[in-house]
Amino acid sequence: MAIGFRHLTDIYQSLDPHPVLTMRISLPEQKYPEDAQVRSYYQRLLQELAAVPGVQAAGLIANAPASNVDNPKTPFVIDGRSLPAGAEPPAVDLQSVSPNYFRAVRIPVIEGRTVSDQDGPEAPRVAVISRTLAKQFWGDASPIGQQIKLGTRDPAAPWIRVVGVLDDVKQNWWDNAPRPVVYLSYLQAPRRTMEFGIRTIGEPLAIASGVRGALRRVDPSVSAGEGVNTLEGSIADALAPLRILGSLMLTFSSIAVVLAALGVYGILTHSVAQRKQEFGIRLALGAERADLLKLVFAQACRLSGLGLAIGLPVAYVLTRVVGSLLHGIITFDATVFAALAVVLTGVALVAAYIPASRAFRVDPTEALRSE
């Protein structure tokens, strides 16, 4: 569990979040009541941001990765495919995104293209889908050029053509697996609240003042509600509960290993100490100390081997059972099993050697007299 929680804290490293600034903009409905006004504001702001020195790429999305907030879901149908009678259409996560966002946060395009500035309100509707969605409904076939319809079976609703496939990224760290997502052009599906991703050439906070200046130039009455932050900091905040759980699991697992080692040490120390007189008698009868040491180690190996023979299969079964409940956190790791087996076997040998070395120093005549 400790290793699993530690690995989960690295799930967003592929985004290379350090040189990325983020900010959240919410346009007031009273001032921006029409979709055309919303589109115009974000188009102008993206142009201003692109002109800020140090900005490599700037884009926006409705709900950024690692937000720990679910995307809205919508049913969808695929052109040419019918559903069984009474069956509900499958649901997908819905996102609205600008052309450069995937470049800004390093989400690679697997096939086709992303949305572009030409995918405006008057252009044919297009969408980019996640790899999970493509695999789930098209298998090994290419979904490029296929048409889908979102949210309704209304014949008048527009068909949306799939133009690209993106790599998966988890919306929330606790998701068992990446969700199927449909990304629409923000020009065709505008939203008043959007999150910006701004990849910088140098230190990201160094251009924060330039970003704020771009905001003021477009509309002084609109500001970033939570300020300008780094994507790395946002991810760290989102993963804070996970890091706390990981630290707790590391503490508990360390205590468990120490208790197991102390238990093994105590049992073997007591077992060997009880044979102190036996060792003295054997030495009096001519036994070599090396032979007695082999005898002690053989006993330690038998006892530790019996414990491992019982404990490892039980631990394996528990790993599978708990792993099915905490998918992605607990997985079978042969290295961990082998390391713990070596540690506890080493403890057993040390626990056997220390009292045995004391027993070997006993005067055989004292052992015989005591017997």
What's the pLDDT tens digit per position in 66-87?
888 888 898 888 888 777 666 7
- Residue of 209, 237, 256 lying closest to 69 (CA atoms): 237
Output the pLDDT for position 335: 84
Rounding to the nearest 10 degrees, give the CA dihedral for residues 227, 173, 139, 113: 20
- pLDDT > 60? residue 249: yes
Question: What is the rounded CA–CA span in Å between residue 134 and residue 165?
Answer: 7
Other C-beta atoms lying within 10 Å of the C-beta of residue 44: 14
The 8-class DSSP code of residue 120 comes to -
How distant is the alpha carbon of residue 307 from its chain centre? 34
For residue 160, what are the β-bridge partners?
148
Q: pLDDT, tens digit, for every residue of 164-217?
A: 999 998 888 777 778 899 999 999 999 999 999 999 998 888 888 899 999 999
Are the beta carbons of 78 and 148 closer than 8 angstroms? yes
**Angle between helix 208-218 and helix 35-50 axes, rounded to 10 deg:** 140
Q: Which residues of 77-98 are buried (b: 16+ CB within 10 A; e: fewer)?
A: bbeeeeeeeeeebeebbbbbbb
The chain-wide mean pLDDT, for the chain, equals: 84
- pLDDT > 80? residue 5: no
The stretch 79-100 carries a mean pLDDT of 83
The stretch 92-117 carries a mean pLDDT of 92
- pLDDT > 90? residue 281: no
- Residue of 179, 150, 175 lying closest to 166 (CA atoms): 179
For residue 22, what are the β-bridge partners?
197, 229
Q: Please, is 286 exposed, middle or buried when counting C-beta atoms within 10 Å of its C-beta (0-12, 13-18, 19+)?
A: exposed
- pLDDT > 70? residue 327: no
CA angle 6, 7, 13 (to 5 degrees): 115
Output the pLDDT for position 350: 80
pTM comes to 0.74
* Token output for 179: 């969700």
Output the pLDDT for position 38: 93
- Residue of 168, 218, 172 lying closest to 58 (CA atoms): 218
Q: Please, is 118 exposed, middle or buried when counting C-beta atoms within 10 Å of its C-beta (0-12, 13-18, 19+)?
A: exposed
